[in-house]
Chain A
Amino acid sequence: MPVFSFSYRPFEGKYIRRFRWWVVFLEEVRLWNRSRIFIVLFILGMLQPIARFIQIILYNAAIQDPNHPLAPLIRSVTWIKVDNELYFHFIRLQAPLVLLILLYVGAGAICADRKNRLWDIYFSKPIHWYDYLLGKLLSVVFCGFSLTFFPALILMLTDYTTKKSSTWLGLISYFPIVSDSLFFSLILVLPIALGIIAASSIFSTENITVISIVTLIIANTSLAGLLSNFMRDGNYMQVSLPVAIYFMGQRVFNIDRNIFFRTMDDINVTGMFLYIVSCCVLFLLISIIQVRKAEKG
């Protein structure tokens, strides 16, 4: 136990003047980082990156060494190939766990503070509402990125380092995949994070926040399905946020696979992108209004 002197010393150091949201971010990360449930979920989220890591090592070893015992097998399996499609599928398959983990870490981000009446304490400190909101949001986004973009970066680095012919210039060839992964991760994580933060700022408990988000996703996709079935003059599946995110990912990685649409021709990519952006703006506005209301008193 530390021993402090018995005199009360006035502070002689320096106050932090900028980037106060960083403290909110750090506190939030620290809070969910200690939870066992989070650790279990995070380990589950790391299973795919580990599998992909092994896949990349095996593929590069087999492809570069014709005498490798696994070479014939690996060459015959098409889905094991390491290319830009691997990163798309990696991020896509992480989506359910991303949703689950973000719900766990984000659902209580704001509503728990309101429940514990912490707003009074926080806003009596020299901190703005936007520092608070930004810190909370970025912590959730960071959590999402730690399951999508950051492991994808590590996988790219693994791919680069396990190639015998790697040169420094060869790194440049990864830039398009890096930007594609970043964009897809952003398009996946940001709407979820904003939606959860918005719901957390509206509802009183974590459970209601989670239920509302799940309901919203189901209702949104069901509505898109119904519209697609009944109205034959357009591809209304793009009204579903998960479908729009999936399709934007496909487009970014230049993959043409028609799962949700009757034809790929009448899909409005710009419209879909704007739909995702407007959802994000809506969620952000709700969060801002709620937190501003709390800060206004």
Chain B
Amino acid sequence: MDAQIETKELSKWFGEVVALNNVSVQIPSGVVGLLGPNGAGKSTFIKLALGLYRPSRGEIRILGKKPRNNFQILSILGYCPEMDHFVEEVSGFEFLYWLARYSGYHPKAAKKRVGDALERVHMVERMYDPISTYSKGMRQRIKVAQSLLHDPQILFLDEPMNGLDPTAREELFHLVIGLGNEGKTVVFSSHVLHEVERVTDTVILIYNGRVLALGKIREIRDLIQNHPRTIVIETMEPKKVYQLLSSDSNITSVNFDTQFLTVHTLDPLQTFKCINEIILEGKIPIFSFHCADEDLQSVFQYLISTHIPRGL
């Protein structure tokens, strides 16, 4: 694995609060989702990677080098922060222009870069308006644009979808996927699971400062193979369907609704087989059935409930 970002026993604490605890990960190039609830340690991880925080213990390396005060590394990193960070009275163009200058560009090159970045986030129309007049979505676009200014090799997007309308979200999804396809490393932080699923299949699940899992979503899903799975069957006669399914010993529990039957099974494949047989018999109409906990949310909930002791 060509690790772009590598951490070894990385820990960061603020007084008695442990923000990140003993994190050892290797992040390859491409889009990687940094997933966890609010306060999990995602932003701390990103700030450590950017050299904004000094690790309390362990180390973090970007392309094999420590990022802190390393201009060579900082020049190839892009950062879109979670919170608003603006000089309100200036225009979007000017704000980005100075940030481009901070990145080390000469005035002419800086203007060119700003134009390109604003174009990429579709903010050219309003680029000369003061930032104070921008909507939440526009501010978010400006933040993304500033992270793209210097064409970074490694990009950290901290909750970039916050406040974006559906069209803008779609554009940003495409942008992130495009950047990944260009060979850049994009660390996409979010607490919304389906957002991450849209852009990548490689995730780092982080909770309470610890890494719960790292890898492909499917591989992580396999972790819950032995966990009872939930299947929802849509039918007009849920009780009759259950009677036919009762021969399946893998079913651990059921819930009835007027139109739905929810079953928890230890072997979903076997249960699916039984449902198929009922459909083929054609005695009871079944309109649809699906596995309700195949998504990342369920994996996440499962990992939190089983891997982390209660009270942490």
- A-to-B contact residues, CB < 8 Å: 1-2, 4, 6, 8-11, 13-17, 20, 23-24, 26-27, 30-31, 34, 112, 116-118, 120-128, 296-297
Contact = CB atoms under 8 A, between A and B. Distances in A.
Nearest to B115: A4
A124 B150 contact: no
A15 B102 CA distance: 10
A226 to B, nearest CB: 41
Contacts, number: 103
A297 B85 contact: no
B101 interface: yes
A8 B125 CA distance: 18
B85 A116 contact: yes
A116 to B, nearest CB: 6
A116 B124 contact: no
Interface in B112-138: 112-113, 115-116, 119-120, 124-125, 128
A255 B115 CA distance: 57
B102 A23 contact: yes
A291 B115 CA distance: 31
Contact of B74 (A8, A24, A125): A125
A30 B87 CA distance: 12
Main secondary structure of the interface of A (DSSP, over half): loop
Contacts of A8: 116, 120, 148, 151
B98 interface: yes
Interface residues of B, number: 45
Interface-central residue, A8, A10, A121, A124, by most chain B CB under 10 Å: A124
Interface of B: 47, 50-54, 69, 71, 74-75, 77, 79, 81, 83-90, 94, 98-99, 101-106, 108-109, 112-113, 115-116, 119-120, 124-125, 128, 146, 148, 150-151
A123 B77 CA distance: 11
B90 A127 contact: no
Contacts of A296: 53-54
B79 A126 contact: no
Nearest to B97: A27
Given A121-B85, A122-B102, A9 B74 contact: no
A296 B12 CA distance: 13
Contact of B124 (A4, A13, A122): A4
Contact of B103 (A2, A123, A126): A126
A125 B52 CA distance: 10
A11 to B, nearest CB: 6
Interface-central residue, B69, B84, B102, B150, by most chain A CB under 10 Å: B102
B75 A297 contact: no
Contacts of B103: 15, 125-126
A297 B86 contact: no
Contact of B116 (A4, A20, A128): A4
Contacts of B74: 124-126
Nearest to B156: A124
Interface-central residue, A2, A6, A10, A118, by most chain B CB under 10 Å: A2
17 contacts: A2-B124, A4-B112, A4-B119, A11-B113, A15-B104, A16-B105, A20-B102, A23-B98, A27-B98, A117-B85, A118-B86, A118-B87, A120-B52, A120-B85, A125-B104, A297-B52, A297-B54
B109 A127 contact: no
A223 B88 CA distance: 41
Given A31-B90, A125-B102, A297-B54, A11 B79 contact: no
A205 B84 CA distance: 18
Contact of B101 (A27, A31, A123): A27
Given A8-B120, A31-B89, A126-B71, 10 more contacts: A8-B116, A13-B106, A20-B104, A23-B101, A31-B87, A31-B90, A118-B86, A120-B52, A121-B146, A124-B50
Contact of B75 (A1, A6, A15): A15
A15 B91 CA distance: 24
Nearest to A121: B85
A120 B89 CA distance: 19
Nearest to A7: B116
Contacts of A120: 47, 52, 79, 81, 85
Nearest to A129: B69
A256 to B, nearest CB: 48
